[in-house]
Amino acid sequence: MNPLPKLRQWLDERFEWDDLIAPLREKAVPLHRLSYWYFLGGITLFLFVIQVLTGILLLLYYRPGANEAFESVQYIMTQVQFGWLIRSVHSWSANLMIFTAFAHMFSVLFLKAYRKPRELTWVSGVILLFLVMGFGFSGYLLPWNTLAFFATKVGTEITGQVPIVGKPMMIFLRGGEEVTGATLTRFFGFHVAVLPGLATLLILVHVLLVQRLGISVPPKLEVEWTANPSVKREMKFFPNFLLRELMAWYVALGVLGALAAIFPWNLGVKADPFVPAPAGIKPEWYFLFMFQTLKLIPPKVWFIDGEILGVLAFGVIGLLWLLLPFFESDHPSRTKRWITGVAIFALAYVAGMTVYGHFAK
């Protein structure tokens, strides 16, 4: 006897289950030669779930504190059954998630999926990207190794360059004038409580908006399909697209497992605040384009401090980026080409500066 129909009936009698999942049955995914890009959001979500699960497992053994953090991660890596796998998957998944989040953002940008009525989907997505980078920045310090310690020192110092609010912000982030155990506990709090709470809320908003507004179609195709609905091609979200998404998740899982087993995430050397910073200290790759830019700006530009100018410029660019959909035309036939130009330039700049920053001394 199959219990599923009975369970479904039981749910339907109480929660009107069929009505609840009706939109899922209705939901369709546009089918065209660029449909593959639609998988990126789902893969990012999958990696976020991996992060949450592995993060909870790491919490069972991780101890925040300058005297314990490094040793506890070392214990996880060497003594805890499959601890190495959990920690390596967490670290690799974090990096892959940031990569897929960036890729998802640029795919949305090039497919012009941010247009009316999806402005808020874009806004919530960009804020999510900032949060994900915050996850990376706060999580990087948690093993309390030398590289993390000095990268955090440099990173928070850059925050301190912001006029007026910079110094109080830096002291707030560090929990004092210097990077100490207080910074570590603070970052731990951001990493496991503040950021996950905010991110979960925004992911819900983001997914609900996607659900409510449906999936966007590139403007040219939208014009074509509106003029001639008979050429419109779609795929049912459930189960056809979801099964394909599941395949993508399996592939992501395989890549994650391979990276974790062949290149377990390095632990490094325990941080010692009294030793000089290692030569050529650099942040994680996703901050490199900003770091390299700040390095290239002259110490003084006219009468303004170069670093302050750089930080302010990134702040303004970040804000404009967030508001990008509001500069776009409402009509699919009259989309603004300069936004595509900006997108190409931004992608080339971020990629180029990241590679340059990686090889620069």
Partner 1 sequence: MAILPSSTRSRAGVRWLLLAAFLGLSASFGYGQAKNSCLDCHSTLPDPFGVTQDKFSQDIHAQKGLTCVNCHGGDATSDDADQAMSRKAGWKGKIDRKQIPALCGSCHSDPAYIRGFNPSLRTDQLSQYLTSVHGKRLAGGDTKVAVCTDCHSVHDLRAPSDPRSTVNPVNVATTCSRCHADAAYMSSYKIPTNQFAEYSKSVHHDALAVRGDLSAPTCTTCHGNHGATPPGVASVANVCSTCHVFQSQLFDTSPHKEAFASAGLPGCVTCHSNHGILHPTDEFIGTGDKAVCTQCHTQGDAGYAAAGKIREQLAQLAVAIGNADQILGTAERSGMEVSQPKLDLTQARDALTKARVTIHSFNVDRVGADVKLGVAAAAKDYTAGQQALAERNYRRIGLAISLIAIALALIGLRLYIRQIES
Residue 133 or 253 with smaller CB distance to partner 1:
253
- CA–CA gap between residue 135 and residue 91 (Å, rounded): 11
- CA–CA gap between residue 159 and residue 286 (Å, rounded): 16
Q: Restricting to residues 82-111, which ones interact with partner 1 according to CB under 8 A?
A: 84-85
Contacts of 116 (CB under 8 A, 6+ apart): 325, 328, 330
Q: Restricting to residues 211-240, which ones interact with partner 1 according to CB under 8 A?
A: 239-240
Let me know: does 195 contact 139? Beta carbons within 8 Å.
no
The minimum distance between CB 267 and partner 1, in angstroms, equals 6
The minimum distance between CB 23 and partner 1, in angstroms, equals 20
What is the β-pairing status of strands 300-301 and 304-305?
A: antiparallel
The minimum distance between CB 41 and partner 1, in angstroms, equals 19
What would the two tokens of residue 358 be?
Answer: 């990686």
Residue 31 or 133 with smaller CB distance to partner 1:
31
Q: Quick check: 78 binds partner 1 (CB under 8 A)?
A: yes
Kindly report the CA angle at 267 between 266 and 272, in degrees rounded to 5? 140
The minimum distance between CB 256 and partner 1, in angstroms, equals 10
Q: Restricting to residues 146-205, which ones interact with partner 1 according to CB under 8 A?
A: none
Stretch that binds partner 1, among 32-40, 197-205, 241-249, 334-342 (CB under 8 A): 241-249
Number of residues that bind partner 1 (CB under 8 A): 24
The minimum distance between CB 315 and partner 1, in angstroms, equals 38
The minimum distance between CB 42 and partner 1, in angstroms, equals 14
Stretch that binds partner 1, among 54-62, 74-82, 162-170, 315-323 (CB under 8 A): 74-82
Let me know: does 179 contact 156? Beta carbons within 8 Å.
yes
The minimum distance between CB 252 and partner 1, in angstroms, equals 10
Please report which residue ranges of the chain form alpha helices under DSSP H: 4-15, 17-20, 22-26, 39-59, 69-78, 83-110, 119-141, 146-159, 166-174, 181-189, 195-213, 219-227, 242-262, 285-296, 306-322, 337-359
Q: Quick check: 74 binds partner 1 (CB under 8 A)?
A: yes
- CA–CA gap between residue 143 and residue 141 (Å, rounded): 6
Contacts of 296 (CB under 8 A, 6+ apart): none
Show the binding pattern over residues 249-288: x = contacts partner 1 (CB under 8 A), - = does not.
Answer: -xx-xx--xx--xxxx-xx-x-------------------
By the criterion CB under 8 A, which residues form the site for partner 1? 74, 77-78, 84-85, 239-240, 243-244, 246-247, 250-251, 253-254, 257-258, 261-264, 266-267, 269
